[in-house]
Amino acid sequence: AGIVAAAEKNISAIERLEIDNTTGPLITSTIYEGFRMLGDALLTAEGFETEGKDHHTEMIGRLMQLKVSTDRSLLVLDDLRRKRNKINYDGYLPTEDEVKDAVAIKNSLWKPLLAEVKSIIKR
């Protein structure tokens, strides 16, 4: 559960940031990492080792399998993963609209996925 608490702290921290051209990459990457950490915690709780070349894809993929009610498709998590990769590996600077979309994804999906992951981990 430590990784879930860390993810919650990271998401809480970026919620206080104003969106601008210096914070955009940090906000977008941190939102993605929060979801990735939930996937990691879930896979770990289920007895899977989350390492290797495709481990991020596996973590996000596991989250996308959850049955939660949201107003956005969980498939947007994979789009967020690709955007974060462009930021981290290519030095991409997301536009203000892209950062706002990442925040909208967090606003739509974070609480339901967090609650579901916590529920599964407790079982």
CB 34 within 8 A of CB 110: yes
**Over 90: is that where the pLDDT of 21 sits?**
no
- pLDDT of 94: 96
pTM of structure: 0.93
Q: How far apart are CA 116 and CA 118, in angstroms?
A: 5
**Over 90: is that where the pLDDT of 39 sits?**
yes
DSSP for 44-112, written as a single string: HHTT----STTHHHHHHHHHHTS----SS-TTHHHHHHHHHHHHHHH-----HHHHHHHHHHHHHHHHH
Mean pLDDT along residues 41-52: 85
Confidence of residue 1 (pLDDT cuts 50, 70, 90): low
- pLDDT of 53: 67
Tell me how far CA of residue 57 lies from CA of 18, 61, 72, 114, 121, in angstroms.
29, 6, 19, 18, 20
Give tens-digit pLDDT for 58-108: 899 999 999 999 999 999 999 999 999 999 999 999 999 999 999 999 999
